[in-house]
């Protein structure tokens, strides 16, 4: 897909099977975890405690501690839900889509991207449950046999959501775990500690590196990739239908599914970069996560950013072209109303900023890329905020218009999920190989072969 002669390699030259294995497994097995890890982990753990506390308060007191109200009955919870789910998408996209498309450069980032997906979906999953008025009855949204003979109402997008997100989490988890098995075996074999050997031994499910194992493993992995790939499209499409199904001006738009999927991958790649850039710096993984990866992610950001921009444009155009006064009033309100600053900032973050990525120099500048990724993360959060809150604040009857303002509990829950994400991620780095060892070895082999082919003739 790319001209390798002009771009950075997917793995720095000079690596052998052994160096790859040593370098990656050392992060887990031998390297001492210094102050940096502990600080990061503690921040995450603090955030998680904040989340637990916020959830406790919520269950104790009721949803009223949040800023939701009539007419803006969905607030931060749904914003954060969509944001987190979107972030997860890049992980699946990288591991499943790019695997199926045989993109070799995915290898070094897919593992932690998948982990990111898993943690992001876990963070996302918290919100739809908590935002219920009676969270303890969440299971009523699922079809289960009950004495009342009642099913959920299948015409509601929220029910589709349950299936979409549930499936997504399950498949992501299995896919990630299956992908981990050979590496878990490597860790089991190299671990010098008895506990490590036992735990990794159990987790590696008796992997013996046999040819049959590899055969079946590859089959299963591809199959799972095949299962996961459509989810990239379907999950966020379904999430977007939470909005598109309703007749709220600003929600009732057919462009939403593709626009949401693009937005999801957009924000997901931004999050991959947000995580990968510090990770490679902290653990000296520049050899594995090379400028090539950063460059490719930048291109993905650019293309999905353009799709998102098209989505915005299409929405505005259709609202004008349809002649629907309510839709148009909502559009005008986005530019001139109470939330116009949020809208302006999101346009800046999501449309203007990615235009920098046309330049290779910028794509190859790690610091700038990290800043751009952060800006896009903010922009995509604001996009969901504007869609959810601004649309609801300015509907049909002016008598019902009203503003939303989050409370301290909205913020604490949001920050808490970020803490949970950080904590999980730090634990992941600490106990599991953040880069797929066996796939990197494979990559070393492939690169060597490729080079041999180049040289031999």
Residue among 19, 7, 85, 51 at smallest CA distance from 292: 7
Q: Which residue, 244 or 434, is less far from other proteins as judged by CB? A: 244
Applying CB under 8 A, the span of 17-25, 70-78, 114-122, 172-180 interacting with other proteins comes to 70-78
> Would you count residue 248 as binding other proteins (CB under 8 A)?
yes
Degrees to nearest 5, angle at CA 448 with 442 and 453: 125
> Would you count residue 126 as binding other proteins (CB under 8 A)?
no
Q: How far is the CB of 375 from other proteins (least distance, A)?
A: 17
Query: Cα(229)–Cα(61) distance, rounded to whole angstroms?
Result: 41
Applying CB under 8 A, the span of 41-49, 99-107, 240-248, 257-265 interacting with other proteins comes to 240-248
Applying CB under 8 A, the span of 127-135, 193-201, 274-282, 416-424 interacting with other proteins comes to 127-135
Query: Cα(173)–Cα(333) distance, rounded to whole angstroms?
Result: 41
Residue 86 and residue 259 in contact, taking contact as beta carbons nearer than 8 Å: no
316 φ, ψ to 5°? -65, -45
> Would you count residue 337 as binding other proteins (CB under 8 A)?
yes
Query: Cα(117)–Cα(111) distance, rounded to whole angstroms?
Result: 10
Q: Which residue, 118 or 380, is less far from other proteins as judged by CB? A: 380
> Would you count residue 98 as binding other proteins (CB under 8 A)?
no
Q: Which residue, 291 or 332, is less far from other proteins as judged by CB? A: 332
String marking each residue 139-158 x if it binds other proteins according to CB under 8 A = -xx--------x-xx-xxxx
Residue 350 and residue 305 in contact, taking contact as beta carbons nearer than 8 Å: yes
> Would you count residue 194 as binding other proteins (CB under 8 A)?
no
Query: Cα(70)–Cα(393) distance, rounded to whole angstroms?
Result: 9
> Would you count residue 398 as binding other proteins (CB under 8 A)?
yes
Q: Which residue, 310 or 396, is less far from other proteins as judged by CB? A: 396
Residue among 427, 386, 303 at smallest CA distance from 72: 386
Applying CB under 8 A, the span of 8-16, 63-71, 195-203, 222-230 interacting with other proteins comes to 63-71
Residue among 414, 292, 290, 298 at smallest CA distance from 362: 298
The number of beta carbons lying within 10 Å of the beta carbon of residue 200 is 24
> Would you count residue 192 as binding other proteins (CB under 8 A)?
no
Residue position matching structure tokens 């959830």: 55
> Would you count residue 56 as binding other proteins (CB under 8 A)?
no
Applying CB under 8 A, the span of 85-93, 188-196, 391-399, 447-455 interacting with other proteins comes to 391-399
> Would you count residue 346 as binding other proteins (CB under 8 A)?
no
Residue 312 and residue 347 in contact, taking contact as beta carbons nearer than 8 Å: yes
Among 218, 400, 449, 451, binds other proteins (CB under 8 A): 400
Q: Which residue, 150 or 281, is less far from other proteins as judged by CB? A: 150
> Would you count residue 329 as binding other proteins (CB under 8 A)?
yes
Question: What's the token pair of residue 6?
Answer: 């002009």
Q: Which residue, 72 or 444, is less far from other proteins as judged by CB? A: 72
The number of beta carbons lying within 10 Å of the beta carbon of residue 38 is 12
Q: Which residue, 397 or 452, is less far from other proteins as judged by CB? A: 397
Q: How far is the CB of 433 from other proteins (least distance, A)?
A: 40
> Would you count residue 163 as binding other proteins (CB under 8 A)?
no
Residue among 397, 401, 400, 315 at smallest CA distance from 350: 315
Q: How far is the CB of 322 from other proteins (least distance, A)?
A: 12
Rg (CA), the chain: 23
Q: How far is the CB of 404 from other proteins (least distance, A)?
A: 9
Q: How far is the CB of 131 from other proteins (least distance, A)?
A: 7
- Chain positions 256 to 315 lying near other proteins, rule: CB under 8 A, are none
> Would you count residue 415 as binding other proteins (CB under 8 A)?
no
Degrees to nearest 5, angle at CA 176 with 423 and 198: 75
Q: How far is the CB of 64 from other proteins (least distance, A)?
A: 3
Question: What's the token pair of residue 169?
Answer: 């989490």
Number of residues that bind other proteins (CB under 8 A): 61
Between the CA of residue 415 and those of 8, 46, 126, 419, 422, what are the distances in Å?
Answer: 37, 10, 13, 6, 10
Residue position matching structure tokens 């920050």: 415
Residue 385 and residue 343 in contact, taking contact as beta carbons nearer than 8 Å: no
Give the containing element (helix H, strand E) for 38.
Answer: helix 35-61
Applying CB under 8 A, the span of 116-124, 133-141, 165-173, 372-380 interacting with other proteins comes to 133-141
Report the interface residues with other proteins, using CB under 8 A. 61-65, 67-71, 73-74, 131-134, 137-138, 140-141, 150, 152-153, 155-159, 162, 242, 245-248, 325, 329, 336-342, 385, 392, 395-403, 405-411
């Amino acid at each position: 897909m790319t001209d390798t002669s002009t771009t950075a390699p997917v793995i720095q030259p000079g690596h052998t099977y052994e160096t790859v294995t040593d370098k990656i497994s050392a992060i887990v097995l031998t390297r001492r975890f210094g102050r940096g890890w502990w600080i990061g982990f503690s921040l995450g753990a603090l955030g998680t405690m904040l989340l637990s506390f916020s959830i406790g308060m919520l269950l104790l007191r009721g949803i009223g501690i949040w800023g939701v109200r009539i007419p803006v009955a969905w607030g931060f919870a749904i914003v954060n839900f969509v944001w987190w789910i979107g972030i997860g998408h890049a992980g699946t996209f990288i591991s499943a889509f790019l695997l199926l498309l045989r993109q070799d450069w995915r290898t070094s980032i897919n593992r932690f991207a998948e982990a990111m997906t898993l943690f992001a979906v876990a963070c996302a999953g918290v919100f739809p449950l908590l935002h219920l008025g009676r969270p303890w009855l969440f299971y009523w949204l699922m079809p289960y046999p009950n004495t009342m003979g009642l099913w959920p109402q299948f015409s509601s997008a929220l029910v589709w959501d349950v299936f979409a997100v549930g499936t997504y989490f399950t498949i992501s988890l299995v896919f990630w775990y299956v992908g981990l098995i050979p590496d878990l075996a490597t860790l089991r074999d190299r671990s010098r500690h008895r506990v490590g050997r036992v735990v990794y031994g159990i987790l590696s499910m008796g992997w013996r590196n046999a040819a049959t194992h590899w055969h079946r493993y590859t089959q299963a992995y591809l199959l799972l990739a095949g299962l996961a790939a459509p989810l990239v499209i379907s999950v966020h499409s379904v999430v977007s239908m939470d909005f598109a199904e309703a007749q709220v001006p600003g929600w009732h738009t057919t462009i939403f599914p593709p626009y949401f999927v693009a937005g999801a991958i957009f924000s997901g790649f931004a999050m991959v970069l947000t995580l990968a850039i510090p990770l490679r710096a902290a653990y000296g993984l520049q050899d594995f996560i090379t400028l090539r990866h950063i460059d490719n992610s930048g291109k993905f950001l650019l293309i999905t950013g353009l799709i998102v921009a098209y989505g915005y444009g299409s929405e505005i155009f259709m609202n004008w072209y349809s002649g629907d006064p309510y839709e148009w009033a909502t559009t005008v309100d986005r530019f001139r109303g109470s939330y116009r600053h949020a809208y302006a900032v999101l346009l800046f973050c999501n449309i203007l900023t990615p235009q920098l990525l046309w330049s290779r120099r910028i794509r190859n500048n790690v610091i700038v890329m990290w800043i751009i990724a952060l800006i896009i993360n903010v922009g995509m959060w604001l996009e969901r905020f504007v869609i959810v809150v601004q649309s609801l604040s300015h509907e049909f009857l002016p008598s019902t218009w009203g503003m939303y303002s989050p409370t301290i509990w909205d913020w604490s829950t949001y920050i808490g999920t970020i803490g949970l994400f950080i904590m999980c991620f730090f634990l992941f780095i600490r106990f599991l190989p953040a880069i797929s060892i066996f796939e990197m070895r494979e990559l070393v082999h492939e690169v060597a072969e490729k080079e041999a082919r180049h040289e031999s003739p």
